[in-house]
Amino acid sequence: MNETVKLADLQQGVRPVDHPTVRMGRIGVLLLNLGTPEGTSYWPMRRYLKEFLSDRRVIETPRLLWWPILNLIILTKRPGPKGRDYASIWNNERDEGPLKTITRSQAEQLAAHLKSVAGDKVTVDWAMRYGKPEVRERIQALLDQGCDRILLVPLYPQYAAATSATACDQAFRALMEMRWQPTVRVSPPYYDDPAYIDAVVDSMKRDLAKLPFEPEVILVSFHGVPKEYLLKGDPYHCQCVKTWRLMREKFGWPADKFRMSFQSRFGTAEWLQPYTDKTVEALAKSGVKRMAIVAPGFSADCLETLEELDGENREIFMHNGGEQFAYLPCLNDSQDGMKVIRHVVERELQGWI
């Protein structure tokens, strides 16, 4: 520090001439979602899959066993087929996946709302755990704008180590390299929050009213994880079950007509059951002709909902005797969806604004 600076100047906040520029006093909100490839061709898909499947939170198999499988088999064979799957849902106008389009809109709408509440004191940004925009980059962008307090908002209603935890891991890695860390809060999962349950059910009812048929069964599908993760203490399964129960109670249907399942498994290990594809097949074979699927564990539509549920599972149902099938969209950036995000963020910003 410049020794010629007087004590009175320091007390008044006057900095020496060689002091680095300091920006502070603002609040940042960072929405975090899973991620999407930068393109549907082989190499962008390979980079995305490598980053995703190299995460120890996602794949807990010992590295000596997993690395040969990942690098010699999966990253050689899967980029092509997965790229074609992404191409079927791609936002060609923006040249990006729908998850990125929707998450950006969620951030923009939240920013407009918070500006009306707190003026220019709060800056909202968004990032992806895998792919771009990168978590580290967007945290730095918030710091550069003077945000010395940051609220991290993992956009996963139910907590899992492979979703919420790994998103926060990435943020914490960035913080570990910072000399002057911001004060950080992390919003908790909101799987049983009445605002979330009400929004999901109200959205479902509006979408169902638009259908030309009444479903005999509604299937509530959550993303699956290996059963081993549950046995190790991950709360995800229990939180999914509670979300489903609260939805069913509010919806008013019996359990045999309002079912739950888990999707997106891969590999040979046992995953959380019942499996979505097997459940859809069994329903069709049992004589169910009309059904609908909803995926409340996703805050935005993506490959797992648009291609897997509305594509693959629709085909499974129709191929096995079903006649009418509907996929009910996620909350996305709809009025209901934004109501939930605003509720969570405003609750967690208490004491800051």
Q: Are strands 147-154 and 183-186 parallel, antiparallel or unpaired?
A: parallel
Reported confidence tier of residue 2, pLDDT bands at 50, 70, 90: very low
Domain boundaries, given as residue ranges, for the chain? 26-189+336-348, 194-328
Backbone torsions φ then ψ of 291, nearest 5 degrees: -150, 160
Q: Which CATH class is domain 194-328?
A: alpha beta
Q: Please compute the mean of the pLDDT values over residues 174-187 and round it to a whole number.
A: 95
* 194-328 and 26-189+336-348 share a CATH fold: yes
Q: What residues have CB less than 8 Å from 295, skipping those under 6 apart?
A: 220, 221, 222, 223, 263, 304, 305, 309, 330
**Confidence check: pLDDT of 212 > 90:** yes
Residue 3 marked ligand-binding: no
Q: Is the pLDDT of residue 19 over 80?
A: no
Q: Does the N-terminal peptide bond of residue 212 adopt cis geometry, omega within 30 degrees of 0?
A: no
pLDDT above 90: residue 11: no
Q: Is 113 annotated as a binding residue?
A: no
Both structure tokens of 88? 């079927």
Asked, as a colleague might, if the bond just before 133 is cis with ω within 30 of 0, I would say yes
Residues 292-337 pLDDT 10s: 999 999 999 999 999 999 999 999 999 999 999 999 999 999 999 9
Tell me which fold the domain 26-189+336-348 belongs to: Rossmann fold (3.40.50)
Residue 312 corresponds to which tokens in the numbers above? 């693959």
- What are the pLDDT digits (tens) for 78-129? 999 999 999 999 999 999 999 999 999 999 999 999 999 898 999 999 999 9
